[in-house]
Amino acid sequence: MSVSDVARFGTSIWLDDLSRAKLTGTDSHSLPSRIAHSGVVGVTTNPSIFAAAIAGASEYALDIASMKNATVDDCVKRLTTDDVRNACDLFKEIYSATKGVNGRVSIEVDPRLAHDTDGTIAAAKELWQIVDRPNVMIKVPATVEGLPAITALIAEGISVNVTLIFSVKRYGAVIDAFMAGVEKATNPSHVHSVASFFVSRIDSSVDALLKANATPEATALLGKAAIANAHLAYQLFEEKFASPRWLAQAERGAHKQRPLWASTGVKDPTYDDTRYVVELIAPETVNTMPQNTLDAVINHGVIRGDTISKNYADAVEVFKSLSDLGISLNAITTELEIDGVNKFAQAWQELLTTLEAAQKI
The pLDDT score that the predictor gives to residue 354 is 87
* Domain boundaries of the chain, sorted by first residue: 3-359
The pLDDT score that the predictor gives to residue 3 is 77
Closest C-alpha to 288, from 105, 15, 33: 15
DSSP 105-172: EEEEPPGGGTT-HHHHHHHHHHHHHHH--TTEEEEEE-STTHHHHHHHHHHTT--EEEEEE--HHHHH
Contact in structure between 225 and 202 (CB atoms under 8 Å): yes
68 is catalytic: no
The pLDDT score that the predictor gives to residue 1 is 52
Question: How far is Cα 40 from Cα 189, in angstroms, rounded to an integer?
Answer: 24
Q: Which of 22, 139, 240, 256 is catalytic?
A: 139
Low pLDDT (below 70) residues in the chain: 1-2
Is 307 in a helix, a strand, or coil? Answer: coil
The pLDDT score that the predictor gives to residue 76 is 93
pLDDT digits (tens, 9 = 90+) for 258-286: 999 999 999 999 999 999 999 999 999 99
The pLDDT score that the predictor gives to residue 57 is 83
pLDDT digits (tens, 9 = 90+) for 308-342: 998 999 999 999 999 999 999 999 999 999 999 99
The pLDDT score that the predictor gives to residue 83 is 97
CATH number of 3-359: 3.20.20.70
HSE (CB half, 13 Å, CA atoms) of 70? 16
Question: How far is Cα 201 from Cα 263, in angstroms, rounded to an integer?
Answer: 7
pTM over 0.95: yes
Which positions ≥6 away from 290 have C-beta within 8 Å? 16, 17, 264, 265
As a dihedral over the C-alpha atoms of residue 111, residue 112, residue 113, residue 114, rounded to 10 degrees, the angle is: 60
